[in-house]
Amino acid sequence: MELVVTRQQQEQLPLQDDALHWSRGFKVSASDVKLWKRICAEIATEINLLFDNWKYILAGLICQYIHGLAARGVHYLHRPGPTLQDAGFFLLPELGQDKGYISETVFTCVFLSFVLWTFHPFICKSKKIYTVLIWCRVLAFLVASQFLRIITFYSTQLPGPNYHCRQGSKLARLPRPESVLEVLLINFPRGIVFGCGDLIFSSHMIFTLVFVLTYQKYGTQRFIKQLGWLIAVVQSLLIIASRKHYTVDVVVAWYTVNLVVFFIDKKLPELPDRSNGASSLLLPLSNKDRDVKNKEETHKLMNGNSVDPADRRQRTQVNGKIQEDANGVHNDTNAMNGV
């Protein structure tokens, strides 16, 4: 009888080991719980911000489509011709048609890296930005720059230097569209990659510089900021060496985008800084919260209390009088001298 029991126990040992291994594999640590709570809290915060700012996000995305539609439209007006004389073409060796992917690869890495950085508040504990608010700002920079770009490349159509835009290429000119739908669909993404005529100024440099300038202001890693500027310079040289743009297209992009970001950034309200841990106090109020706050302020005024307790400054009483300066710092020389 004892031998039978021992064999049963031996047969059950592998099953117990498998169950123990399975439970350890699905064990949730305290750090995982904290991460999940952080993600849920960030999602709730960003949803509230998106509810208040969805019009700006939607308008920015619609303008991206309009920009693509304008670039597609100018392709119908493009007339191939001899490549214009360009200083960058003399100074930089031509990469060749088979190496045109290099500049696109660099741009794709910049684009994806920036997108991932804007979503880091969902995972990282230390954060400085709100994803929705930073994209509202970025879209404003992009839309303003792209609006100027549309004006410039429709004002003057230059013969494209890219290989598929030169004389003899079947893609250099587009046949007359058979329907309006053909124009509206813009043949994405092939129509964007193999476009012609939208030269001044470079769209790739618009995105690159906007991303670099945004991280320069709101990023925290100094090395990444310096690396971003280096990549922007390398991207400029690769675009010219790939013969995708003339040098003037890149040069105009550099000073135009910087000026656009500089002036629009001053017009937009400053983003709340989350690095000091007081982000909830600086978070923009929703319409409902704003109405509640207005009612509370009205109620305080009716009761004769016109001072917000959170905004009260320290006051000193000297000779029965309350004195304070404009900065809340008490520097009464008479009181110090006992007068």
Half-sphere exposure of 329 (CA within 13 A, CB side): 2
Between the CA of residue 94 and those of 88, 233, 238, what are the distances in Å?
10, 17, 9
273 has catalytic annotation: no
Catalytic residue among 67, 75, 78, 204: 204
Task: Respond yes or no: is residue 204 known to be catalytic.
Answer: yes
CA–CA dist 78, 165 (Å, integer):
9
243 exposed, middle or buried (CB, 10 Å; 0-12, 13-18, 19+)?
A: buried
Out of 67, 75, 198, 249, pick the active-site residue.
249
User: 170-203 burial by CB neighbour count: b if 16+ within 10 A, else e?
Assistant: ebbbbeeeeeeeebeebbeeebeebbbbbbbbbb
Does the active-site annotation cover 249?
yes
Residue by residue, DSSP assigns 286-319 as PHHHHHHHHHHHHHHHHTT--S-GGGPPP-EEET
Active-site residues: which are they?
204, 245, 249
